[in-house]
Amino acid sequence: MSLPIYLIGARGCGKTTVGQALAAALGYDFCDTDYYLQQVSGKTVAEIVAEEGWPGFRSRESASLIAVTAPGKVIATGGGMILAAENRQFMHDNGHVIYLNAPAEILASRLEAYPENAQRPTLTGRPIAEEMAEVLAARDQLYRQAAHHIVDAMQSPEAVVQQIVNALSLARA
């Protein structure tokens, strides 16, 4: 059975970019929990956070994770998906969990290059590089805990895809 593949990691690590390429390579469907949540609620992440606070967003995020889980899917998750122990456990038990690991400076420079992609409000209101370092320091252990495999996300997207395919011993049928 083709278990779902969950991609986890901080904003900018390449979950969407790598996820779409991985899905294409395997003939899987791709989905993104943030995108799903926005479609279902009819609101942007920023609007949900403004109206319901981060706890409201987090609770919708957990529900989205369960809703999108199905065989034959590559699932890009929101950067904070791993904050809840129940989400970490759910992913670990229901699929392959891949942590796309890259240093904070790289993540920040990617997000700064394409600020229009960084739709999520900053968590602290401080400069992105500073915030990214702090967020990653707090979350790196949780990403590692949740992951079955850790891959180097500084390689090209194609190389990251290949590394995941190799790690899971998957090839297109």
List residues binding ligand ADP (CB under 6 A).
Answer: 9, 11-18, 76, 110, 114, 117, 153, 156-157, 160
Closest CA to 98 of 120, 130, 75, 118: 75
User: Buried b vs exposed e over 66-85: b needs ≥16 C-beta within 10 Å?
Assistant: eebbeeebbbbbbbbbbbbe
Radius of gyration of the chain (CA): 15
72 binds, among Mg ion, ligand ADP, none (CB under 5 to 8 A by kind): none
For Mg ion, the binding residues in 13-52 under the rule CB under 5 A are 15-16
Residue 11 touches which member of Mg ion, ligand ADP, none, C-beta under 5-8 Å by kind: ligand ADP
156 versus 166: smaller Cβ distance to ligand ADP: 156
Question: Nearer to ligand ADP by C-beta: 63 or 159?
Answer: 159
**Least CB distance from residue 1 to Mg ion, whole Å?**
26
